[in-house]
């Protein structure tokens, strides 16, 4: 991302406005993220032509080190031959003097501004920082991530109950109501069905009735057997014809 010509014009106008307020005509240079000149104006024309090259060098140096030229001058002064070497490598586009600042949008450097020709100490740096203020007002709003939506809370589950109706394979599950085959299919003592049987009087009555009283099928079978027995051994009956 690099500075556009529209943004460069707004930065230039902000610097010029501050220079007019301070009655300090200066040269203002704006470069892109690669250090290439985008916009330049010399307010003191036709004088002060030397300030033009200095302002361009300040803007280039601020982008090169991504910090103000005043900071570069403070730590670069402790390195012997640093200024002369960089000036030779950049064809004169390096300088250690206050008045240059990188231009950033949302923390990303998109260019730099350099000011030279102020008529008082610190005047160049103050005019250049006026352009930083206009950059902050032009920065696009940062999209804020939406707040985490409340997640539905799980329903309370009793730890003593199984969490799923079929936690085991169907073929491996025990019968819910085990029966004792040796006791005419009656529920096993202590099982749930046995407890229900003890607590349900209607069940007890129907059970006692089925045990004490024979069923309709049993009664029919007994009548049939009685009929056969009587047919095989008919009772002795006196008939009037037998005495004739």
Domain ranges of the chain: 5-138, 176-231
Greatest mean pLDDT range, 12-21, 127-136, 168-177, 217-226: 12-21
Angle (CA) 72-75-77 rounded to 5° is 95
Q: Helix, strand, coil proportions of the chain in percent (round to 5)? A: 45, 15, 40
pLDDT of residue 48: 80
Q: Between helices 69-76 and 82-89, what is the axis angle to 10°?
A: 130
Residues in the chain: 244
Strands annotated E in the chain: 27-32, 37-42, 100-105, 108-116, 179-180, 186-187
> Is it the case that residue 116 has pLDDT exceeding 70?
yes
φ, ψ of residue 180 to 5 degrees: the values are -100, 110
Cβ-based burial of 103 (10 A; exposed 0-12, middle 13-18, buried ≥19): buried
Task: Identify the CA nearest to 128 among candidates 112, 113, 117, 139.
Answer: 113
Q: How far is the C-alpha of 194 from the C-alpha of 178, rounded, in Å? A: 9
| Residue 194, both tokens | 């046995």
Structural contact between residues 54 and 116, judged by C-beta atoms closer than 8 angstroms: yes
| Residue 46, both tokens | 């036709």
> Is it the case that residue 244 has pLDDT exceeding 50?
no
Q: How far is the C-alpha of 18 from the C-alpha of 16, rounded, in Å? A: 5
φ, ψ of residue 38 to 5 degrees: the values are -110, -45
> Is it the case that residue 243 has pLDDT exceeding 50?
no
Per the listing, tokens 């361009």 go with 56
| Residue 122, both tokens | 């610190």
pLDDT of residue 44: 85
pLDDT of residue 193: 58
3-state secondary structure of 38: strand
Structural contact between residues 59 and 113, judged by C-beta atoms closer than 8 angstroms: yes
The pLDDT of 139-167, averaged and rounded, is 59
What's the predicted TM-score (pTM) here?
A: 0.57
Kindly list the distances between the CA atom of residue 87 and the CA atoms of 38, 94, 98, in Å, as whole numbers in the listed order.
21, 5, 16
Task: Identify the CA nearest to 11 among candidates 127, 142, 98.
Answer: 127
- Tell me which CATH code domain 5-138 carries: 3.30.450.150
| Sign of the dihedral through C-alpha 131, 137, 140, 142 | positive
Pick 101 or 184 by higher pLDDT. Answer: 101
Q: Confidence band (pLDDT; 50, 70, 90) for 238?
A: low
């Amino acid at each position: 991302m690099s500075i556009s010509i529209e943004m460069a014009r707004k930065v230039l106008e902000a610097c010029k406005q501050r220079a007019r307020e301070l009655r300090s005509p200066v040269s203002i240079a704006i470069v892109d993220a690669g250090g290439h000149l985008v916009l330049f104006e010399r307010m003191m024309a036709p004088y002060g032509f030397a300030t033009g090259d200095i302002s361009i060098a300040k803007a280039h140096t601020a982008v090169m080190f991504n910090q103000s030229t005043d900071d570069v001058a403070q730590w670069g002064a402790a390195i012997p031959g640093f200024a002369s070497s960089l000036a030779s490598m950049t064809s004169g586009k390096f300088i250690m003097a206050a008045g240059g600042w990188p231009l950033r949008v949302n923390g990303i450097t998109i260019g730099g501004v350099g000011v030279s020709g102020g008529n008082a100490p610190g005047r160049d740096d103050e005019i250049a920082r006026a352009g930083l203020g206009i950059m902050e007002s032009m920065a696009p709003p940062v999209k804020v991530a939406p707040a985490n939506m409340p997640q539905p809370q799980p329903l309370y589950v009793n730890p003593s109950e199984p969490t799923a109706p079929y936690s085991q394979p169907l073929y491996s599950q025990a019968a819910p109501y085990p029966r004792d085959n040796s006791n005419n299919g009656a529920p096993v003592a202590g099982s749930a069905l046995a407890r229900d049987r003890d607590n349900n009087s209607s069940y007890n009555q129907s059970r006692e009735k089925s045990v004490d009283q024979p069923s309709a099928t049993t009664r029919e079978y007994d009548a049939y057997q009685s009929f056969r027995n009587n047919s095989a051994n008919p009772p002795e009956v006196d008939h009037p014809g037998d005495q004739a």
